[in-house]
Amino acid sequence: MATLRTPVCDLLGCDVPVVLAGMGGVARADLVAAVSAAGGFGFLGMVRESAERIHGEIAAVREATTREFGVNLIPAATDPDLLMSELAAVIVERVAAVTLFWDLRPEVVRRLREAGCLVLCQVGSVREGQEAQAAGAHIAIAQGIEAGGHVRGLTPLAELVPAMVARLGIPILAAGGIVNGAGLAAALGWGAQGVVIGTGFLATRESFAHDYHKRRILEAKPGETVHTEVFHVNWPRGAAVRVLPNSVTQGERGDAFADERVVIGEEAGRPIHLFSTDSPLRNMTGDFEAMALYAGEGAGLIKTLPSAAERLDIIVGEATKILGIPSVARAQDEDEKRVPEFRSPACALPYAGDVYMGFASQDELLAGLNELLEAERAGARITLQSARDAGDGPFADLFRAIQRDEARWCALLHGHVKALGGNPSPMMGAFYGKAMAIGDLRERVAYVNRGQGWVVRKLRDLLPRVRDDRLHGDLGEMLRSHEANISLANMVETPKHEN
């Protein structure tokens, strides 16, 4: 695990801020499980899939890994009745997160939020991002024009991400053309909290794309992709896609908008039409050359077909190196003094007189905040997984409520450590392993409550020694929230008996 962790990792429950795009047809259980198990976060691409298939794919991911993952849906490209059954399926399965794309449906966002789902909206402009935030999205994905598949906006990622970071108050993930560590490092530099990768993960062994599609990506040259509206069957009119050039984009297959439908392939008895948005999948037969060969602008940089975990490791390793961040493994192995120091002496100046006045020194503050961050991260992860373990049982809502709070405190502590010129700890409190070893959920609630009690004591000790008003205010709020959650858990854990 590398120290690329950002607050969005705590929200999603992953180790590194690399998200697999929910590519329709391509991102199925094998790929999603591989990415999530390797420390990233996978989304099942379930556009227009039946509730039955959604249940089946979710079960297959859960069979393969205990890590969290999400589901991608596209309301605009889905028949309304089917969309309702898809939503019911993800809600009943209590999936951790859902990504929505194309047009914004505030009622869908609201419904998923109310069901305790984390909602991500992929958008192509600042205005769409603001609308998604207003509708209640927890995270916005900025999709640049470089992206493979359907492309919502016309703005390059390097322009869109900083603009969205400046204008929105929710975490931003960057999508479009990112296939390596340089892309991840750049996105983090623009202020994104992580990246969403489609094409890079399509070109892995676990993806459900047909080998023809994978081969074409490996053969792609830089600058070769095409932005076109020619693949339109199954989608609202005027939706642009980015694909590799083929006989269709070169105009050799006739008029894309003629009424006649020509069948060029088949997927388990379903006809695949010329100009449709279907891309070649493993279980298809037909004229693959004429299908939509989705690819982002990064395709020209992809030269290998590794496993998804290897792709993730390469990207994270490269970014870690570029950003000069030590890996946890190294930091643990080496003498602590050799871990690079990211602070400059100027960072310490505002705190120079504090020790004399009885306030915590900057180093004490950083150590205390990082200790709390590790504990909150453990709390966020425990409650995320426990909410799922709880199913429909009495503890599910409690775990979910605490999880949202813990993730929020992680983000806040992360921000304060950075503001103090420190390096947010990437570690997970040992509490995590101990709590998850407890099978009985009532006992786990009691154990989590003891952990919350530990945080309360830490905060009570630290608060009187914090001089900065903003930090003091935030830690005070964190203390009150923990006290409230302890009372809530006590009520749920020991229900009152009738006399």
Ligand X SMILES: Cc1cc2nc3c(=O)[nH]c(=O)nc-3n(C[C@H](O)[C@H](O)[C@H](O)COP(=O)(O)O)c2cc1C
| Contact residues for ligand X, defined by CB under 6 A | 21-24, 26, 45, 47, 72, 74, 99, 101, 122, 143, 146-150, 175-178, 196-200, 202, 279, 294, 296, 298
The answer to whether 212 touches 36, Cβ cutoff 8 Å, is no
Q: Is the dihedral of CA 45, 117, 432, 465 positive or negative?
A: positive
Minimum CB–partner distance for residue 367 and ligand X (Å): 39
C-alpha 423/C-alpha 420 separation (Å) is 9
Of 277 and 425, the one with the shorter C-beta distance to ligand X is: 277
Token pair of 386 as six digits: 């426990």
The answer to whether 5 touches 15, Cβ cutoff 8 Å, is yes
Of 129 and 176, the one with the shorter C-beta distance to ligand X is: 176
Of 245 and 326, the one with the shorter C-beta distance to ligand X is: 245
List Cβ neighbours of 68 (8 Å cut-off, separation of 6 or more).
12, 13, 14, 36, 41, 96, 97, 384, 385, 388
| 188 Cα distance to chain centroid | 14
| 343 Cα distance to chain centroid | 29
Minimum CB–partner distance for residue 177 and ligand X (Å): 5
CA separation (Å) from 267 to 241, 270, 287? Answer: 21, 5, 12
Of 101 and 395, the one with the shorter C-beta distance to ligand X is: 101
Of 200 and 421, the one with the shorter C-beta distance to ligand X is: 200
Minimum CB–partner distance for residue 171 and ligand X (Å): 16
Minimum CB–partner distance for residue 203 and ligand X (Å): 10
Minimum CB–partner distance for residue 182 and ligand X (Å): 14
**CA nearest 216: which of 293, 301, 147, 291?**
293
The answer to whether 241 touches 256, Cβ cutoff 8 Å, is no
The answer to whether 338 touches 204, Cβ cutoff 8 Å, is no
- 44: alpha, beta or left? (left if phi > 0; alpha if psi -120 to 50): beta
Of 119 and 459, the one with the shorter C-beta distance to ligand X is: 119
- 25: alpha, beta or left? (left if phi > 0; alpha if psi -120 to 50): left
Edge-to-edge strand order for the sheet containing 240-243?
Answer: 149-151, 240-243, 226-228
Token pair of 170 as six digits: 């929710």
Of 179 and 369, the one with the shorter C-beta distance to ligand X is: 179
Which amino acid belongs to residue 77?
A
Minimum CB–partner distance for residue 465 and ligand X (Å): 46
Of 42 and 148, the one with the shorter C-beta distance to ligand X is: 148
The answer to whether 113 touches 134, Cβ cutoff 8 Å, is no
Of 193 and 403, the one with the shorter C-beta distance to ligand X is: 193
What is the rounded end-to-end Cα distance, in angstroms, of the chain? 52
Of 3 and 143, the one with the shorter C-beta distance to ligand X is: 143
Minimum CB–partner distance for residue 467 and ligand X (Å): 45
Which residues share a beta bridge with 267?
Answer: 270, 284
Minimum CB–partner distance for residue 298 and ligand X (Å): 5
Minimum CB–partner distance for residue 250 and ligand X (Å): 20
Of 279 and 425, the one with the shorter C-beta distance to ligand X is: 279
Minimum CB–partner distance for residue 103 and ligand X (Å): 12
Minimum CB–partner distance for residue 220 and ligand X (Å): 11
Of 217 and 448, the one with the shorter C-beta distance to ligand X is: 217
Of 207 and 423, the one with the shorter C-beta distance to ligand X is: 207
Minimum CB–partner distance for residue 99 and ligand X (Å): 6
Minimum CB–partner distance for residue 459 and ligand X (Å): 40
